[in-house]
Amino acid sequence: MHAVVAGLVLSLAVLWSGPAQARTVPETLAEAEPVRAGEVTTDFTIDHVGVLWDVPAGREHAAEAPGAEPHGAVRLRHDETWGPWIPLIEDGVTSRGQWASGLVPAGDATAYQVRGLPADAVAPRAVAMNTTDGPRSTVGETPGGAAQALNSSQCRSRADWGADESLRHDADGQELLAPQFYDAQVTTVHHTATTNDDPDPAATVRAIYRYHAVDQGFGDIGYQYLIDEFGIVYEGRWSGTASTSCGAAGGTGTDFAHEDGTDRMVTGAHVGGWNSGNLGVALLGEFTGHRRFGADPEPAAVSSLEDLLAELALRHDLDPAATVTYTNPVNGTQKTVPTIGGHRDYEATECPGERLYAQLPTVRLHVADRMAAAADDPPRVAVTAPADGATVSGTVPVTAEAVDDVAVAQVAFAVDGRVLGTDTDGADGWTASWDTTTVADGNRTLSATATDSAGQTSTDLAEVTVGNGPGEEKGKGTPPVRPPRAG
């Protein structure tokens, strides 16, 4: 990735030693069945529960039941104790003709129960999952000596987070959603409507993957990228070739979501009807004002989102502040949306939650700043007076010319590293005044350092000779003769 996001995806310098070791993760355990009255138990303790149903023909969204649980609720049993009813809210993706809840964290529950679904919910079903305790399966190899690298890298490939690639295939081994590639036009921000303060984000990503690929029928995870509260970026949708492991092999994430050898992006399944040419980025968590789990997104996650969006905007020549006419390249349908939009800009949904959606105007500004810093050359500056090699005395003006394509914010002048002054208004030229009697005679180095509005700097130097003569340097010349004191 470009320098602007060097902090986003760190390429670790790891010394490999010894043989490669198998990279294993727990298999996802899941049981799905029609929603029914009463408690439901499973053959495993439950990490997550999701509820989904079909929407009546001709409707884009399910009707809402009255009261505080418009889409129903689920409760969980731990040992013999039932917890409170937890209202269901919509998942961070949608599929036309279907409604799906965000996955409810279950915390090793032994049973669950569902109540209060809308009356027009067609074929409602629930799925319980465990992505932490199943038998371990191999998803790749970790080079010898790199065991700790995966804990410190700032991105995760599909193998790093443990994607079971068999979930993308049918019983005959055929891909359920073969990759398609188009030029990126827009980016869409989501939340996953899962828990905040997630103790195991990779396990949650595996649960979302199973939920999207199998239970919602997408054939893969819907988003191209996911970001956890620590700012770690996870590879989402499969893009045709295995991406380089971020920790174990020094991958940087540049191969996520893009066709091998090109900048065309893989189509996801995150905004029903508006997916091709639309990059989906989801923050793990729920950012609504609900009494369920809603909270503000963590600053590290938002900063990582801004880094990623800046990288994508530079790569695809997108204007982060623009409103554009998105044209679906598959069917020609059009929609006027922000280049950096939220899911709710496309259809009636709470996603990405009002607390994250309210931050998108600031996110756009920060993305533009990051792009300017990455794309901008440093300012050009030159000391214009005194001339290089000149001899100076008394008080002289020091001047400079400075230009930059994103504007010069200030020019700081110094002599031998000691600041003379800083000019922040170049309307009448960049200048400072130098009383040369404050230094001893001899060779001196003048400098002018320009700083542009993107924070980049450059410096020009001029060598001059101070020649004030004996006794002229203040505090260091011949002391003045004082008259005798009277009386």
β-bridge partners, 242? none
CATH code, domain carrying 433? 2.60.40.10
Whether residues 19 and 91 share a domain: the answer is no
Whether residues 239 and 155 share a domain: the answer is yes
Q: How far is CA 161 from CA 34, 112, 144, 356, in A?
A: 30, 27, 19, 25
Examine residue 473 and state whether it is found in any structural domain, yes or no: no
What pLDDT is attached to residue 395? 95
Domain that holds residue 412: 380-466
What pLDDT is attached to residue 406? 73
Determine contact, residues 208/193, Cβ cutoff 8 Å. Answer: no
Residue 97 has pLDDT above 90, yes or no: no
CATH code, domain carrying 65? 2.60.120
Could you list the beta-strand ranges (E) of 184-322.
186-191, 225-227, 233-235, 265-266, 278-283
Mean pLDDT, rounded, for 24-32: 93
CATH code, domain carrying 217? 3.40.80.10
Last residue of a domain, one of 85, 100, 130: 130
- The model's confidence at residue 12, banded by pLDDT at 50, 70 and 90, is very low
- The model's confidence at residue 393, banded by pLDDT at 50, 70 and 90, is very high
Mean pLDDT, rounded, for 153-165: 91
Whether residues 215 and 363 share a domain: the answer is yes
What token pair was written down for 170? 């049918």
Could you list the beta-strand ranges (E) of 221-287.
225-227, 233-235, 265-266, 278-283
Instruction: Tell me which residue of 285, 256, 234, 91 sits closest to 184, measured CA to CA.
Output: 256
Whether residues 18 and 39 share a domain: the answer is no
Q: How far is CA 211 from CA 39, 175, 222, 300, in A?
A: 21, 17, 10, 26
Lowest average pLDDT, out of 117-126, 248-257, 284-293, 318-327, goes to: 284-293
Determine contact, residues 267/183, Cβ cutoff 8 Å. Answer: no
What pLDDT is attached to residue 61? 61
- Residues 192 and 226: their CA atoms lie apart, in Å, by 9
Whether residues 206 and 304 share a domain: the answer is yes
pLDDT tens-digit readout, 251-265: 889 999 999 989 999
pLDDT tens-digit readout, 317-363: 999 999 999 999 999 999 999 999 999 999 888 899 999 999 999 99
Examine residue 43 and state whether it is found in any structural domain, yes or no: yes
What pLDDT is attached to residue 60? 58
- Residues 41 and 272: their CA atoms lie apart, in Å, by 33
Give the contacts of 90 (CB within 8 A, at least 6 positions apart).
71, 99, 100, 101, 102, 193, 349, 350, 351
Give the DSSP letter of residue 376: P
- The model's confidence at residue 119, banded by pLDDT at 50, 70 and 90, is confident
Could you list the beta-strand ranges (E) of 284-378.
323-327, 334-338, 340-342
Examine residue 197 and state whether it is found in any structural domain, yes or no: yes
Identity of the amino acid at 407: A
- The model's confidence at residue 74, banded by pLDDT at 50, 70 and 90, is very high
- Residues 313 and 408: their CA atoms lie apart, in Å, by 24
Last residue of a domain, one of 357, 374, 391: 374
Examine residue 474 and state whether it is found in any structural domain, yes or no: no
Examine residue 384 and state whether it is found in any structural domain, yes or no: yes
Q: Which residue has the higher pLDDT, 314 or 292?
A: 314
pTM, rounded to two decimals: 0.75
Examine residue 277 and state whether it is found in any structural domain, yes or no: yes
Residue 176 has pLDDT above 80, yes or no: yes
- Residues 143 and 248: their CA atoms lie apart, in Å, by 6
Lowest average pLDDT, out of 93-102, 213-222, 432-441, goes to: 93-102
Distance linking the first and last C-alpha atoms of the chain:
82
CA-CA-CA-CA dihedral for 360, 365, 370, 371, to nearest 10? 100
Kindly calculate the radius of gyration of the chain based on its CA atoms and give it in whole angstroms: 31
Looking up tokens 């899941």, which residue turns up?
A: 30
Last residue of a domain, one of 323, 349, 374: 374
What pLDDT is attached to residue 56? 82
Give the contacts of 69 (CB within 8 A, at least 6 positions apart).
85, 87, 88, 115, 116
Whether residues 150 and 268 share a domain: the answer is yes
Whether residues 62 and 108 share a domain: the answer is yes
- Residues 52 and 64: their CA atoms lie apart, in Å, by 14
Mean pLDDT, rounded, for 46-68: 80
What token pair was written down for 330? 């598959």
3-state secondary structure of 200: coil
Strand arrangement, sheet containing 278-283? 155-156, 233-235, 225-227, 278-283, 186-191, 340-342
Whether residues 34 and 21 share a domain: the answer is no
**Mean of the per-residue pLDDT values of the chain:** 86
Whether residues 44 and 82 share a domain: the answer is yes
3-state secondary structure of 207: helix
Could you give the number of structural domains in the chain? 3
What pLDDT is attached to residue 100? 93
Residue 62 has pLDDT above 80, yes or no: no
Whether residues 362 and 412 share a domain: the answer is no
What pLDDT is attached to residue 414? 93
What pLDDT is attached to residue 309? 97
Residues of the chain above pLDDT 70, percent: 86
β-bridge partners, 398? 432
Residues across the chain: 487
Whether residues 307 and 370 share a domain: the answer is yes
Examine residue 301 and state whether it is found in any structural domain, yes or no: yes
Whether residues 20 and 39 share a domain: the answer is no
Examine residue 484 and state whether it is found in any structural domain, yes or no: no
- The model's confidence at residue 145, banded by pLDDT at 50, 70 and 90, is very low
Residue 167 has pLDDT above 90, yes or no: yes
Residue 31 has pLDDT above 90, yes or no: yes
Q: How far is CA 76 from CA 31, 128, 156, 352, in A?
A: 15, 11, 31, 26
Mean pLDDT, rounded, for 215-220: 94
Mean pLDDT, rounded, for 22-34: 90
- Residues 223 and 93: their CA atoms lie apart, in Å, by 8
Mean pLDDT, rounded, for 137-155: 57
Lowest average pLDDT, out of 187-196, 216-225, 273-282, 374-383, goes to: 374-383
